[in-house]
Amino acid sequence: MKYLRKIDYDSYILELIKISEDSNNVLVKNIGSSPKGRDIFKVSLDGGYDNILIVSGHHGDEIAAPMAILNFIHEWKLLSEKPFNITLFPLINPDGYENGTRENSNSIDLNRQYSNTTEVEIKLVLENLNINYIAAFDFHEALDECAGFFCCESPQATTDLFDSESIVSRISIKYPIARGGIVRNKNKEGSFRNFCDENEIYSLTFESPGQWEIRRRIELLLFSLYSIL
């Protein structure tokens, strides 16, 4: 694992661009900028036939999530098996990330903005979803008292292609599991998960325990990403 702790926004973008220049199946595209003028990027990883969607960085203070994704993008070209084409939005809230805040610079929670959004970050994400996804994965951190990994499963959309029970069981070999492993509570209005349900895209939200030291959280989220491939 190359990136072991948070790097600042400018370094993050430089790394992304460097990785794409280094690899012919990692495409990085600038799709527009945040209210404070920070660019937002979409990354396409070419691999298989089916398309999956991965997002992270809705909440700027949940820093292990975008760092795990950056490691994954860096490692993509080393993978011998690439079963999917992956569309990634690794850092949806760059202003929050830079300032260490959950919300964006307008004090808005971007993970409640997927219906009738007022925020440019989510408008850009929605404008750049252009293909059929067989599943979506959203990366977060539980900043309250939490003893291990858990995920939240879309309560309505289903799939035969991913089995949350076996994903969690693979992760449990290496990491403690909290909250029963899989939470299937009601969708919050305007959340990414709700958006996926409404569009019949099966989704899982991955959560690492925010109290752990950063390196272990990044490792856990990266490991959870590999557990879906």
- Binding flag, residue 193, Zn ion (CB under 5 A): no
Out of 38, 74, 112, 140, name the contact with Zn ion by CB under 5 A.
140
Reported residue count of the chain is 229
Report the nearest approach of Zn ion to the CB of residue 160 (Å). 28
Report the nearest approach of Zn ion to the CB of residue 140 (Å). 3
**In DSSP terms, which residues pair with 137 in a beta bridge?**
54, 204
- Report the run of H or E that residue 150 belongs to, with start and end: strand 149-153
Q: Would you tell me the crossing angle of helices 9-22 and 64-75 to the nearest 10 degrees?
A: 20
Closest by CA to 156, choosing from 131, 124, 191, 129, is 191
Mask for 96-135, x = binds Zn ion (CB under 5 A): ----------------------------------------
Q: For residue 180, give the 3-state DSSP assignment.
A: strand
Sheet holding 149-153, edge to edge: 26-33, 39-45, 84-89, 50-56, 135-142, 202-209, 149-153, 177-183
**Residue 207 bears catalytic tag:** yes
Out of 42, 59, 74, 217, name the contact with Zn ion by CB under 5 A.
59
Task: Report how many residues bind Zn ion under the rule CB under 5 A.
Answer: 3
Report the nearest approach of Zn ion to the CB of residue 141 (Å). 6
Residues 26-55 within binding reach of Zn ion (CB under 5 A): none
Rounded (5°) CA angle 140-204-69: 45
Name the residue nearer to Zn ion (CB basis): 80 or 185. Answer: 185
Among residues 198, 207, 213, 219, the one annotated as catalytic is: 207
Report the nearest approach of Zn ion to the CB of residue 96 (Å). 10
Binding site for Zn ion (CB under 5 A): 59, 62, 140
